[in-house]
């Protein structure tokens, strides 16, 4: 069978039985791999020197964390171990279904990743878990260099509906740093439209590709794939109250107003962290400043 035909036959959706099995697996994970999280947190502290602001804004009750997404979606690797180390809270990150179409998804589940699906979200909320959602998804993670630190949410309101229907409030956060770990040698759209990719598709070696899944070609430290040691700034804002719509439909007015309030808070937090980073730049060591120019 050709690669093209295989790609066409790749499962794009999950059956109810598969969803139920995934939910059971996710609920069975009570906490992270402690050793892995501890090692990752030490690496983060050494390499990215995170500054964390607003931890006091995280409510005691389960909450839905919503923030900006960075290149390659690796900001979760900063956020989740840091929040766990600082507060003991184990966040469950809603991931793209593409992860769970391969064995990689379940391997990452021990670190908190779960399938981004309404049924999964409902089950986790009903069991009182903290959730992490990047409404921009892959499209925001793979944005161009000119779109750094912007939100690309398109017409996504699902996170508001989920919060309203399960009595959750939203904790907004803004992250600065990960979008600067790599320069863009070539944008994802350029790569997707390149002669090489077109040739591979024509010959059936590569099938159809979701445009939002095509990342830019990165250029990191010393023109390698290693990320630059750009310090990370993470800020949590005051919780956004979401009207309780348990057992009923969520009006478009509520969806729009909560989404707008969430986006405005995140954009403000990102702006504050960009300013803080600019002010801190002169206090960084010479070598770090040299390596992050």
Query: What is the predicted pLDDT for the residue at 149?
Result: 96
pLDDT at 94: 95
- H/E element, 279: helix 252-280
The string of pLDDT tens digits covering residues 128-169 is 999 999 999 989 999 999 999 999 999 999 999 999 999 999
Instruction: For residue 151, give both structure tokens.
Output: 């939100």
What is residue 178's predicted lDDT score, i.e. its pLDDT?
Answer: 95
Rounded CA-CA distance 117/172 in Å is 20
pTM confidence score:
0.90
> Tell me, what's the pLDDT at 12?
57
Residues contacting residue 42 through CB under 8 Å, at least 6 positions apart: none
Which conformational region is residue 247 in: left (phi greater than 0), alpha (psi within -120 to 50 degrees), or beta? left
Is the C-alpha dihedral spanning 262, 69, 119, 213 positive or negative?
positive
Rounded CA separation 75/122 (Å): 24
Tens place of pLDDT for every residue, the chain, 293 residues? 333 333 333 445 899 999 999 999 999 999 998 999 999 999 999 999 999 999 999 999 999 999 999 988 888 888 999 999 999 999 999 998 888 988 888 889 989 999 999 999 999 999 999 999 999 998 999 999 999 999 999 999 999 999 999 999 999 999 999 999 999 999 988 888 888 888 877 878 878 888 888 889 999 999 999 999 999 999 999 999 999 999 999 999 999 999 999 999 999 999 999 999 999 988 888 888 888 87
Cα–Cα distances in angstroms (integers) from residue 178 to residues 28, 35, 44, 145, 218, in the given order? 31, 24, 12, 12, 12
How crowded is the C-beta side of 21, counted as CA atoms within 13 Å?
A: 7
pLDDT tens per residue, range 109-126: 989 999 999 999 999 999
Domains of the chain as residue ranges with CATH: 3-287 (3.40.1130)
The answer to whether the beta carbons of residues 150 and 54 sit under 8 Å apart is: no
Q: Where would I find the beta strands (DSSP E) of the chain?
A: 51-53, 64-67, 91-95, 113-115, 130-133, 170-176, 183-186, 217-219, 233-236
End-to-end alpha carbon distance in the chain: 48
């Amino acid at each position: 069978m050709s690669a093209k035909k295989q790609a066409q036959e790749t499962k794009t959706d999950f059956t109810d039985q598969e969803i139920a099995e995934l939910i059971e697996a996710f609920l069975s994970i009570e906490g992270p791999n402690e050793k892995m999280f501890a090692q990752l947190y030490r690496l983060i502290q050494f390499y990215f020197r995170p500054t964390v602001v607003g931890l006091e804004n995280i409510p005691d009750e389960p909450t839905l964390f919503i923030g900006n997404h960075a290149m390659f979606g690796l900001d979760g690797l900063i956020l989740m171990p840091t929040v766990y180390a600082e507060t003991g809270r184990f966040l469950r990150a809603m991931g793209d279904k593409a992860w769970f179409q391969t064995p990689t998804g379940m391997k990452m589940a021990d670190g908190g990743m779960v399938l981004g699906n309404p049924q999964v979200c409902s089950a986790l909320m009903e069991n009182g878990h903290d959730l992490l959602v990047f409404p921009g998804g892959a499209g925001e993670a793979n944005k161009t260099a000119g779109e750094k630190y912007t939100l690309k949410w398109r017409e996504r309101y699902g996170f508001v509906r989920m919060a309203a229907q399960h009595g959750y409030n939203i904790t907004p956060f803004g992250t600065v740093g990960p979008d600067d770990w790599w320069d863009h040698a070539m944008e994802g759209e350029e790569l997707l439209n390149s002669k090489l990719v077109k040739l591979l598709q024509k010959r059936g070696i590569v099938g159809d590709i979701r445009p939002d899944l095509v990342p830019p070609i990165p250029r990191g430290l010393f023109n390698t794939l290693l990320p630059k040691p750009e310090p990370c700034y993470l800020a949590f804002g005051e919780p956004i109250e979401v009207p309780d719509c348990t057992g009923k439909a969520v009006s478009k007015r509520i969806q729009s107003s909560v989404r707008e309030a969430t986006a405005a808070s995140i954009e403000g937090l990102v702006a504050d962290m960009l300013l803080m980073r600019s002010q801190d730049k002169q206090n960084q060591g010479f070598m770090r400043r040299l390596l992050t120019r």
